[in-house]
A and B are shown apart, each in its own frame.
Chain A
Amino acid sequence: MSDLLTNVTLICLILLGACMLLLLYRVIIGPSNPDRAVALDTIGVIIIAMSGLLAILTETTYFNDIILLVGILTFIGTVALAKFLEKGVIIERDRN
């Protein structure tokens, strides 16, 4: 792997780490619970980006499944959290 690609990947990883620290600040301080939910969702997106960069860094394709997996889990978790914040129940008994 070329030297340039390694440097760019490392710089991107450091920047994503800084983003995650700022999001962690929002999760801890965040005035309301929806703020925390959005910050956690964005942390999931950053985890996806980090695993993509790690796949470049370690020159493997086995991280690609992890990327899709984290995306799906983040989506389901955010949907469940949003539904809990809105209605108080995640799985309703009868809708119709």
Chain B
Amino acid sequence: MKQFRTNDLILKTTTTIIAFVILAFSIYLFLAGHNAPGGGFIGGLMTAAAIVLLYIAFGIGTMARVFKWSSTTLIAVGLLTAIATGIGSFLFKQPFLSHTFGHFHLPFVGDFELATAMLFDLGVYFTVIGVTMTIILTIADDQNEEKSELG
């Protein structure tokens, strides 16, 4: 007899709300890292937690249609961003990885301090998301699973 597929409507509905809350919190943690607890590492971990929650609720098949980026690409993008901020300091005849900051006048925000250390943090952020998702999805997606189910 074919087994019925269980209906986890409550989990899916809660996930669609809570995933956005977790994503907003992760972006807050990422931006707050300069003056408060937080930063690229814990922000990336929280974003990965939101994506893992989506994977738990919807499964790999559905999420593969939503997230087109492979997680190994994210590692490369993050590492390239971090290296580019280091190399960028060569353009101003400064040693490797020297960072600077400046005060800018942004619309709607007013005077705001922008630091190039945030770009390095962005690289950390992407790398942490990529590594975490690669680990979890590699463990979850077993290639021999279908064979063992059939046999």
Asked if A86 and B6 sit within 8 Å, CB to CB, the answer is yes
- Size of the chain A interface, CB-CB below 8 angstroms: 21
- A contact patch SS: helix
Asked if A79 and B56 sit within 8 Å, CB to CB, the answer is yes
Asked if A93 and B61 sit within 8 Å, CB to CB, the answer is yes
Q: Which of B59-90 contact A (CB under 8 A)?
A: 59-62
| Chain A residues, CB < 8 A from B6 | 86-87
Choose one: A65, A68, A79, A93; the contact of B53 (CB below 8 Å): A79
Asked if B49 and A73 sit within 8 Å, CB to CB, the answer is yes
A73 to B53, CA, bound (A): 10
A76 to B29, CA, bound (A): 18
Q: Name A91's closest neighbour in chain B (CB-CB).
A: B140
A76 with B61, Cβ < 8 A, contacts A62-B36, A65-B29, A65-B38 known: no
A83 to B52, CA, bound (A): 13
A11 to B29, CA, bound (A): 32
| Chain B residues, CB < 8 A from A69 | 42, 46
